Each structure stands twice: as C-alpha cells, then as structure tokens.
Structure 1
Amino acid sequence: MFIKSTTLALTLLLATGCSHVTPNYDARFGDAVRDAKKKMTINPDAGKDGNPVMGMDGRAARESMLQYQESYKKPPPAVNVINIGGEIGGGAK
C-alpha cells in the first residue's frame, strides 16, 4: 500500500511540472518589445511613399562614399597626447 501511494504521489508531483501556470504572462509576451519599436519609428508609412529622398545629388553622394572608403585604407596620423601644450624640457630657457 505504501509503495502504491508513494508512486501515485510521485506521479502527481511530476505531472504538476507539465501544467501551464503562466497564461497571463504568455498572452502578453513580447508586447514591451513591440511597443518600444513603435515608439522608435518616426514614420511607419515611409515605405509606402514613392517620392525619392531629397538631399544629396549623385555626384556628392559618390564622392562622400569614396572618401569614406579611402579613410579605411590609410589610418589617420597618430597624435602625441602626452605633451600637449608644453615642452619636454619644462618651459623657458
């Protein structure tokens, strides 16, 4: 009798682990992320507008892209920040 009741208790205990206890949380899962995305979008209908974006012409855009790509080919010169505004020897001679 003791073994049957223990087995029954253990079976019931394990079965409770399979039950779903958070229906209220799961129903609203992801709402905060969707709400934050909506708040960060300036114009949600921007993709429906067929007008081109006004700003740079083609030549200016091409030159800025070339300058951007060239900036990665040679690094900027190193700046010595240790002696800014002073001399090595301590000043006046």
Structure 2
Amino acid sequence: MKKLILATVALAVVSGCVSRAPQMDAQFGHAVLQARSQQTLDAQAASKASAPLGMDGKTAHSAYEQYQKSYRAPEPQPQAFTIGIGSSAGGK
C-alpha cells in the first residue's frame, strides 16, 4: 500500500512538469505575412525575364578590374603640407 501511495505522489509531481501544447490564436502569423507582402515591391519579378538596368558585362568587368588594381598598387598621394613652400612671396 505504501508503494502505491508513493507511486501516485511521484506520478502527480512528474505530471506537473509536463508542458501542454500552446493554444494559438486563429490570426497567429498573419501580421508577419502582411508585413512581408507590404515590403515586397514586385511579387512577380522572378517570372519576368528582363535584363537588369546598368552596364554591360565588358564594362562591368573592366570597372571591377580597375577597382582591384587600385588596391594592388595605389596611386601615391600628394603631401598635404606643401602649401606655400618653394614659392616666391612678394616678387623680390
């Protein structure tokens, strides 16, 4: 009898730790769907087969190469403190 009471108490204690499934509102997730649809400019953009506006491939590749080249060998910057050095003042 003692074991039965102990098992019943243990079962009651353990059952208090079990979480129940949450009860969702019928409108759950609608705010996210509405926000996403309001932020989409053109929902059918993927089905349209138009070329993007901008430059052609050769020009874009050349611009990219120039950009990369500028970091490999940057142009030397002029000295910032050369104002007025070496010039004659007053015509003497």
Per the normalisation by structure 1, the TM-score is 0.49
**Structure having greater relative contact order (Cα 8 Å, sep ≥ 6):** 1
Per the normalisation by structure 2, the TM-score is 0.49
